[in-house]
Homo-oligomer: A and B are copies of this chain.
Amino acid sequence: MELVEKLLKGDTRSVARAITIIEDGGEETHAILKGIYPHTGRAAVIGVTGPFGTGKSSLINKLASALRREDKKVGIVAVDPTSSFSGGAILGDRIRMRDHFLDTGIFIRSMATRGQMGGLARATGDVVDVMDAAGFDTVIVETVGVGQDEVEIVNLVHTTLVVLVPGLGDDIQTFKAGLMEIADIFVINKIDMGNWELVKTQLEMMLALAEETRAWRPQIVETAANDGIGIDKLMEQIGKHQDYFLHSNEHDEKDKKKSLHRMRDILSDRIWSALQGHLSGQETLDSLVRRIVKKEIDPYTAVDYLTGKILQLENLEKRTE
């Protein structure tokens, strides 16, 4: 496939085209992903997450600049869950990252879910794979919050930065378990706001009290990304974590989880499409939904009907014996 060949040589336009095809769920999706798959697994993948208002985008901007100075090609995937509401990607991040607009060693892409169900994590994984295969040395994935989707996205990345700001201190307690599990590096950003020592103390207490279930001990780095403060220190910690990660069994575990989730997502999509194509006449998916809404049947009974339509494994096997 010509597109894949060009993409593998790092052609930026082919990267963009491939991503668009994948996002739209175009016919060639399967062929593209199949073609690039053997060439993936080389990029360092960094996740940047945290509540909104913590300055993740400007932090990423500075990280990207630092990586560019090391002559690394950088891909950025802005996963913007809010776009799932509007159906379109928000341009904000791209505008804020305008420093890099004219740099061909950097590639920025915003993701939108376009109403797919559970599709965001998978689509993000596919886009990371495309950038990876196209020879980007580092791929940075930006997500908002700590919802279920983000958990799945965390499984796609090697190093997760959790970005906090002064003033979030009180809430750290509540989020303890979640933060501890995903954070490789805590970034306290906007330290120019002052009063960041409280957040740091609380994080330190939390880390001191945590059970040691991992060989990696999460680090805390203070930054004021807008002024470029703390970025070198952050780069250093990211490097250290990458060294650790690549030689740990966490790498293998994450790969397994990612593969399992992806396989299941793809399967679910495919079965649903097949059902939509197959059902016709009196009982369509729409008519089932209408009957559920009217409380004529419950959703579990509706699924009994649907599995009766597809899941006749037993019968099928008996018949072929």
Contact = CB atoms under 8 A, between A and B. Distances in A.
A288 B315 CA distance: 25
Contacts of A151: 81, 84-85
A85 B152 CA distance: 11
Interface in A82-134: 82-86, 88, 90, 92, 113, 117-118, 120
Interface stretch (A60-68, A230-238, A239-247, A304-312): A304-312
B148 A84 contact: yes
The residue in A148, A272, A292, A300 that gathers the most chain B C-beta atoms within 10 A of its C-beta is: A148
A148 B146 contact: no
Interface in A20-70: 30, 33-34, 37-38, 40-41, 51-53
Interface string A292-314: 11010011111100110111110
For chain A, the bracket of interface size reads: 35 or more
In the complex, the count of this chain's copies comes to 2
Nearest to A36: B298
B147 A310 contact: no
A178 interface: yes
A263 B290 contact: no
A272 B264 contact: yes
A290 B258 CA distance: 11
Nearest to A181: B85
A316 B308 CA distance: 12
A260 B278 contact: no
Given A86-B181, A177-B82, A263-B306, A171 B52 contact: yes
A300 B266 contact: yes
Contacts of A152: 117
Interface of A: 30, 33-34, 37-38, 40-41, 51-53, 81-86, 88, 90, 92, 113, 117-118, 120, 144-152, 167-168, 170-171, 173-182, 252, 255-256, 259-264, 266-268, 270-272, 274, 278, 285, 288-290, 292-293, 295, 298-303, 306-307, 309-313, 315-316, 319
Given A52-B175, A85-B182, 7 more contacts: A51-B52, A85-B177, A85-B178, A117-B264, A145-B145, A267-B271, A278-B313
